[in-house]
Structure 1
């Protein structure tokens, strides 16, 4: 093809000319779209691609998308948005066509880019829904959901999946109708408020309803604007619910609203309970300061000083993390200065602690505020009475003063007093004490009043403070301060005295401070030619003296100044970004600074990918050619070799790279490290390392030239990168070469099969490889890949096919001491549920067949423990006869973690069934374990009745697992099972020594019976409640009948053993509450239903002992009711029992 030249000097000019060529060709229709030829220049090929895209030549565009050259493929994708958006091409842009007709021929990166382009540009809801359905079983599906139709999205959220937080927020921005699905989002309940906060103004009612939901428990910070909005739109709702919102509202806005719309004092007294919490207490001062003076004085005295009407109790200071009780003098901050000064002066006379005196003086600073007379009075008092206090207390006072007072605004008399204090602190001398704030205030005062600054003060100051103070000054004052700071900094730059790197670094630091000063004060660099001249002189000194100093700090201070420093940009900041900027505006600078550019070119730590790409396309015969020649000169220099090879491969046409690689192919696969020609060895290594950088990529055979012997380690990374990106069609061509190669390359071939082929194809290919090799490493990799394929499968038939193959491999794979394979075998939760039970059984049998070792036993235990989570998937005989065998020894041969593991499996085995009849059958299979435990009931190990303890653990774990299984696995209520255990205990054990154990389990069984009586209501509760609240609601449902049944049981025991049994019975009842994990409110509800017969004294004695000691919220009311019944009971015995347990526990207050 005839040479095509792109006119123009800069990158922009060249691109505009290229666009004109495209437009002219399309307009004149004088073009020929021949197939892409990789030997042609990039411009020739790109011109054809863009013409094809402009003219909508679908066939040509699709063929280019299949190109091995990512530049061509991505250009075709980027420029053909019409192919995606135009409905007439729906037969192409649909998931079926893309994955069956295009994907097999496209490189991985190109196809991923195409799918991203489709997802970002396709807006047709019906077509997007087809993509969602195609990816439905993958995480990718969520990325398509945003552009589907509203009904479709709602159906997915309601019935199919939870959506990620980012998607929920995007959906809400699209339509507020999605707000109601905030509970169907993948996030913790406390995050829900934050996720809808951005909708507050447009959907106020809905958002507040979500935030006030008791399940959230946390409302995010509102900020100033949102607080103003809420108090304007719905103030009553916010203030009526202030306990919920108090920590979220902006305190200043809230106080302002209360001040103008309500009574602040009344508000504080009304909400004192809320205001005592730590965060709110810190804002209490805002409320007080906004009161009228007379009201403020009266309120502070009554509430905090005299405490005639305290806002809250002193103990709250300590209890809510505020440290010890606040001293009364601190409240004088809210008094007029005259009163506070008089009161605190009297306290100061009596105070001996310097620390306390300092705090008192700080209170006076807060009271004086900015009143000049008050400040003068306070400073005079300090100089008179406290000038000799230790330095650390004086500096604390001065810092507090200077943080509240502007020193330059003080009159001369007041300043002189403050200056005396400075002298007493050695501010004007060489001191090791930190007096920086004092020095800054002196400079500020002197400069703004046109007074000379003492030399010692100027030398020690950094000028960083002027940015903080600038906002409080007028324009004239700002200018004075800026000029002073600029002159001071400039005077410290000794550019003519630079001799070495240390001198240069010091000048660089000073000049950088100058530039930062200009930037912070919104000054322009071109307004100060002297500074620009110093920068140029520093560049010259750096080059003249060969100093290795970094000048990029000047170039990066302010992006807008880069235009002023453009000519020096490569000298200041030699990096890829600067080179790109030069190409855009003045490419000749690359030639002028070729020496510096060569340093950049040969630095392998710097990526020049974008620069090289531009040079290769737009300057192929000038800059690109020059850089290639420079790189060729550098390849024999070991220190520059790596960067040179990387640059050459990115700049050169494919045939040149292949030719170079071929000319350096190692004849001997073993490296002779003693060879004197180390440069040649290094060159071969670097060629092998970087063959993946070419465009288009090199053929596989080229890399395989180096994939042998000692060079293999260098060739594997580029080989992996190339294989990742090849198309499926090419994979078929490459696969035999890899599978017939050494083991290291076979591994890559196996990975290629896994990543490029469908599951059914993978099955046959891996099966053939498995049969043809006995190599343990290869087999292990195949095993791992089949496992990963199985875990990633979403198709039932595919799962069964892969499981069949994996099951066969599990029999033959060499597992000896292979921790990696042990992890795979024990990773049961990742296996699809369809074959998870089979996989579990197979893994268990394999681990049991292996020689015992510490590592093997650890993974076997993990497998055994996991049975509790998938019990419903396991064969009953396998669990009873293998997993738990010999079952009779479990209570006495194990202890600690191992026992708990088996016990967990045992209890889950008993519970996990579809009917109570199966509960009974399973109990019969493990019954001998209980019998053996009862025979060994009095066995002692390490001074402990370990069998007794283990049996207790069994009962507790049985109850815990019942509660978990009942909610999540919907098992039947195990009434018959619990009764069988109760009868077994009664038959085998002595009641006299096990009364509490017997009775607590009998009461647990009563609880389960009550659940059976209320089963229909309980099923409704489970359907309506969250898993966290279901048991709380169930407990409240069964409380009335449970309380009555407990009393019936107590009556029988009282008749048998006398009323004295009440104490043991109370212990058993408390044990039952603990086993069932019943919360205080449900305990109290149950106890209240045990008091229906006032004449049955034992019931009152039991309840008295079982009342929780600590309660909060509504539970306090219920406990108070029960306590009132106790202390007003006609029986003296009940009242004595009451005072026995509540002698030191005060009455519940209303809180």
Structure 2
């Protein structure tokens, strides 16, 4: 029987294997765990031995005991017992939440949750977990759903469609393909599902591709109905091949759709026969609706299936002569389209909100700089506007002319033109077309080079262009010797012999090199010229056998050159060699020459060889053989751990200590392995002594310079992390030694205390108290603490000002009582911390936030000084920028509070944007009207002629929310009269500013929130009061349009109240109100308009109809909220006018229809036209006006 302490030796792997063998021997001996459990633990290995033995013996109690340990090492080790998932009395959601999780540290809870959904596969248990967490932790619950039975999944899916991400849709569809069908069918009925789908429809479509091979009909039905032809990518070659092999009938039923948009074109061409390809191209050519897509390039893979002798005639017939038969104008079947977007535009019953009107700011003259021009006043710069229409070059025109002709015919025609061509560029274009027509065929290249031999005296740049094109298109290195000589003769002066070229032609040199490498010999002049501008030659179409030969040739060529080159040049050559070997996929072994060359170079110049060693390491080449070199050059955690695994002789505490000291990264995993498996080795003792020595180094020489001491301590503090991990039980001694040196070393001592949790065995930080342990150590302990201890710990931390921020953070993981206690304490001792924590609380809990927390922090915000002198710019910016995270139930009160706080800062509007908060305040007026009076009084108090009220609509709407006549008189006396007096003062001083204020004031009289609220009974009185104010400076006859618009608002209010009274059921339901309510209010509104128009005609003259039409059209455009519902509303208004109008006064409807018909859908337009044509009094006018509207 093995006894503790357990001693391990050898490499890290050998120690692992030795520990595993001891566990197996102990289990085979028949000994019980209780015998070993009583043995003392001298090192972490002893504890790991017990856990592994308990796992082997399936001892549940001991495994659970370790799951509740503070050390995540033992928690992770215990979770290797995957058999624990079979113990349903332990692994069930209720037991975990009520018994196990409260007694586990927070990281352990997260790890156990992850372990549970990874390992749990029993459908019944997965169903239990899903149902338990579904309501409160859906993102965790849905991970279990894919392991439930198909019947349960299909029953649950309709209830969670709005929460389903594309990732989980893929997972569930893989298990049950019917899920994909249910999801896509819901797009037609569920607006929320449709909205989420349209935000990322490509991702959702990709997620159901997994259904193709399990239930192809479901996937193809989805594709044929919802595929976005303008946005989706084509299917992959493998998916396209599967469809054509196993479900070809779906393709043949809709070939145009699948060819033009869905399937991979090359795969389609490969799967169809030659006759099928030919027939498909003809069918696509007849499809007139594919005219913008159907071009030769689009169907080239299909055309290339035809034999070369038939291809030219077929291309001419289809693309030149257009002899394809009778064209088809429209799709012959239903084509797919994404579901229509939900109408997100504003509704006619939504209120219009305004932006603040900026105050008048006088800019001092000295701040105004004259703009200097680069030219004199007499001169002007004229810009040349170039056309964006691309015109074809002569070469492109020549290509188009011979695109559908074969090589022989092209050669015959262009041979004649070549002699007659007057310019070298024209002859170059002719050669380029001929090169493209060769198709790489040797007989065509031979004929071309025979023609080129007669033009060997062409300018060098012309010949270079031809050679470059030939090399890329025709694989000229394979040409027979006589034809090859023609190419060399034509390319004289281009450096094909290794000499300096007269014109750039690297491709020609590459062709010569490839031909020589394939022949097994390479001339020195060619290789020298090639190495000056190296290329891997991957851009050329080499056969598999040629690639092998070229790769071997390049390896020999570069290796030989690197051996005799200087270190810097050798490094460049070896790097190029690695590129070549990687391009040709040559396996590099530890014994490969290139590895030896790099090692040799490293011994000559280490810095130059560093990038090459890095490349070998990343390619996983010779890692074990180059372990020590990699350690020297890489100096990272992976290299150090590799030493532990493979070569203990490379353990040098000085080198390792230097790496830990100088590196800017952490080595937590390496230090942890040392502390666990090498704890008693001399190397670890020496390394710990080295770190400790470095920590205290030179301290005695800096005691008299406080600034230098602090700077040095901050630099050395990073050593506290590895030192704490290696110290174990000696950590307390190290802290006592630091403390004994006096308070000057408090930075080092604080850093060591902050890493106390890394020591193994763990230090009892909780017993020290926060003053001795340090706030960081306490914070780490608190945030990792157990749920059962969290509330008590939060109260203890909240008792001290220094740990209040930790208490606030910890309280958010606790129950409501702890949160209230922590925020109350913070509001008293650290108000700024309470305000900052409030937004963290809002982000964490969202709409579930408790109003009582806001009630605690609100007085703190109101009492805090956030002026410039308080130096709380960041806090002031925070409370202003974080409005978006405030829950909707708290936002109205928060916006008012925020506005009051920002007003108290007394910062200029231009810099604080304080009035932007009023936009949020105005959206929540009905909820906050009781607390708004003081804000409005303050706004009027601060306003003057030069800086007037910037948000007049809030005053008007506050008055409209009056609940009775007495309430209105009270509000009007306090706010209405001063507000109107303020506007009068602005009118007398700044007329243009007044016009802006007046316009917003009149628009804000339209307030649906008050009009639809039966409690607001004084809206009409408010409008009348503002109309009486208008009459004091605006005569009715001179401002008919403004008065008409106010009257229209009164009529709209009456129409709303009448409709609500007549149809209470319609307006009680939100959906019916936004659909049927529009027609109801619009029709009544139109009837009221017709009645008022009759009164105006009686009071004035008949042509007042035209004046009223202008006012009504402007009212619709400016006052009513724009959106799709406005058109429907206008249609109902016009119906009301036609129904109630008298005689020719109905022409008002004609005028409005003429000006607003463009907003209406075609069925609505036809319906109105029919109604207007039936009115005999205005029939002639209808014909005239409507014909004019159509003309324009």
TM bin, normalised by shorter chain, reads 0.7 to 0.9
User: Corresponding residue for 2:104?
Assistant: 106
Q: How many pairs were matched up? A: 1071
Once the two structures are superposed, the pairs formed by residues 436-835 of structure 1 within 5 Å of their partners are 436-449=506-519, 452-453=522-523, 455=525, 458-461=528-531, 465-466=535-536, 468=538, 472-475=542-545, 477-494=546-563, 503-526=566-589, 529-541=592-604, 549=610, 552-553=613-614, 555-556=616-617, 558-559=619-620, 561-562=622-623, 570=631, 575-584=636-645, 586-591=646-651, 597=656, 599-622=658-681, 623-631=683-691, 635=695, 645-652=720-727, 654-665=728-739, 667-670=741-744, 687=752, 690-700=755-765, 720-727=779-786, 745-751=802-808, 753-754=810-811, 757-767=814-824, 773=829, 778-785=830-837, 788-789=840-841, 792-793=844-845, 799-810=850-861, 812-816=863-867, 817=870, 818-823=872-877, 825-826=879-880, 827-835=882-890
Q: Distance in 2 between matches of 1:328 and 1:1063?
A: 62
CA distances 1:1062-1108 after superposition (whole Å, capped 9, x unpaired): 59836853762574435699799899989999999967974795377
Q: Distance in 1 between matches of 2:544 and 2:530?
A: 26
Moved more, 113-122 or 284-293: 284-293
Measured after TM superposition, the shift of residue 488 of structure 1 is 1.5
User: Corresponding residue for 1:127?
Assistant: 128
User: Corresponding residue for 1:316?
Assistant: none
CA RMSD, Structure 1 to Structure 2 (Å):
6.2
- Are the structure 2 counterparts of residues 172 and 617 from structure 1 closer, same or farther at C-alpha, using a change threshold of 3 Å? same
Q: Distance in 2 between matches of 1:1045 and 1:328?
A: 69
SS in 2 for 1:94: helix
User: Corresponding residue for 1:300?
Assistant: 319
User: Which of residues 927, 930, 938 is equivalent to 1:873?
Assistant: 927
Q: Distance in 2 between matches of 1:84 and 1:918?
A: 71
Moved more, 657-666 or 446-455: 446-455
User: Which of residues 168, 188, 194 is equivalent to 2:203?
Assistant: 194
Q: Distance in 2 between matches of 1:293 and 1:519?
A: 41
Measured after TM superposition, the shift of residue 659 of structure 1 is 1.0
Q: Distance in 1 between matches of 2:252 and 2:735?
A: 75
SS in 1 for 2:580: helix
CA distances 1:920-971 after superposition (whole Å, capped 9, x unpaired): 99999999589949996994877x6554454545666777x85xx89xx998
Contact 2:12 2:644 in 1 (8 A): yes
Q: Distance in 2 between matches of 1:1120 and 1:346?
A: 71
1:260 corresponds to 2:277: yes
Contact 1:555 1:572 in 2 (8 A): no
User: Corresponding residue for 1:858?
Assistant: 912
1:158 corresponds to 2:159: yes
Q: Distance in 2 between matches of 1:642 and 1:572?
A: 25
Once the two structures are superposed, the pairs formed by residues 38-187 of structure 1 within 5 Å of their partners are 40-76=42-78, 78-89=79-90, 94-98=95-99, 102-103=101-102, 105-123=103-121, 124-129=125-130, 131-132=132-133, 135-136=136-137, 158=159, 162-179=163-180, 180-181=182-183, 187=196
- Are the structure 2 counterparts of residues 808 and 1045 from structure 1 closer, same or farther at C-alpha, using a change threshold of 3 Å? closer
Contact 1:466 1:481 in 2 (8 A): no
Moved more, 402-411 or 445-454: 445-454
Measured after TM superposition, the shift of residue 728 of structure 1 is 5.8
Measured after TM superposition, the shift of residue 780 of structure 1 is 1.9
Measured after TM superposition, the shift of residue 446 of structure 1 is 3.7
Measured after TM superposition, the shift of residue 75 of structure 1 is 1.9
Measured after TM superposition, the shift of residue 534 of structure 1 is 2.6
Contact 2:581 2:587 in 1 (8 A): yes
Contact 2:558 2:573 in 1 (8 A): yes
Q: Distance in 1 between matches of 2:534 and 2:906?
A: 68
Contact 2:240 2:264 in 1 (8 A): yes
CA distances 1:363-403 after superposition (whole Å, capped 9, x unpaired): 55444433445555666777878976794x87666655544
User: Corresponding residue for 2:376?
Assistant: none
Measured after TM superposition, the shift of residue 302 of structure 1 is 5.0
CA distances 1:309-358 after superposition (whole Å, capped 9, x unpaired): 9999xxxxxxx998457975443353114555677789999999988886
User: Corresponding residue for 1:29?
Assistant: 31
Measured after TM superposition, the shift of residue 760 of structure 1 is 0.6
Measured after TM superposition, the shift of residue 117 of structure 1 is 2.4
Measured after TM superposition, the shift of residue 540 of structure 1 is 3.9
- Are the structure 2 counterparts of residues 1136 and 734 from structure 1 closer, same or farther at C-alpha, using a change threshold of 3 Å? closer
- Are the structure 2 counterparts of residues 333 and 1067 from structure 1 closer, same or farther at C-alpha, using a change threshold of 3 Å? farther
SS in 2 for 1:67: coil
Contact 1:754 1:785 in 2 (8 A): no
Contact 1:22 1:50 in 2 (8 A): yes
Q: Distance in 1 between matches of 2:228 and 2:955?
A: 37
1:1072 corresponds to 2:1120: no
User: Corresponding residue for 1:250?
Assistant: 264
- Are the structure 2 counterparts of residues 601 and 669 from structure 1 closer, same or farther at C-alpha, using a change threshold of 3 Å? closer
Q: Distance in 2 between matches of 1:594 and 1:118?
A: 41
Measured after TM superposition, the shift of residue 132 of structure 1 is 0.7
CA distances 1:293-319 after superposition (whole Å, capped 9, x unpaired): 334324433579xxx99999xxxxxxx
Moved more, 412-421 or 240-249: 240-249
Q: Distance in 1 between matches of 2:314 and 2:843?
A: 72
Once the two structures are superposed, the pairs formed by residues 1094-1109 of structure 1 within 5 Å of their partners are 1102=1151, 1106=1155
- Are the structure 2 counterparts of residues 72 and 865 from structure 1 closer, same or farther at C-alpha, using a change threshold of 3 Å? same
Structure 2: 5+ residue runs without aligned partners?
Answer: 331-386, 699-711
Contact 2:797 2:803 in 1 (8 A): yes
- Are the structure 2 counterparts of residues 557 and 39 from structure 1 closer, same or farther at C-alpha, using a change threshold of 3 Å? closer
- Are the structure 2 counterparts of residues 333 and 660 from structure 1 closer, same or farther at C-alpha, using a change threshold of 3 Å? farther
Measured after TM superposition, the shift of residue 552 of structure 1 is 2.6
Measured after TM superposition, the shift of residue 631 of structure 1 is 4.3
Q: Distance in 2 between matches of 1:1019 and 1:284?
A: 58
- Are the structure 2 counterparts of residues 888 and 757 from structure 1 closer, same or farther at C-alpha, using a change threshold of 3 Å? closer
- Are the structure 2 counterparts of residues 449 and 1120 from structure 1 closer, same or farther at C-alpha, using a change threshold of 3 Å? farther
Contact 2:127 2:145 in 1 (8 A): no
User: Corresponding residue for 1:677?
Assistant: none
SS in 1 for 2:850: helix
Q: Which has the higher contact order (CA 8 A, sep 6+)?
A: 2
TM-score (norm 1): 0.74
Structure 1: 5+ residue runs without aligned partners?
Answer: 313-319, 498-502, 672-680, 709-714, 1146-1151
CA distances 1:183-214 after superposition (whole Å, capped 9, x unpaired): 55684514234313342414555556656778
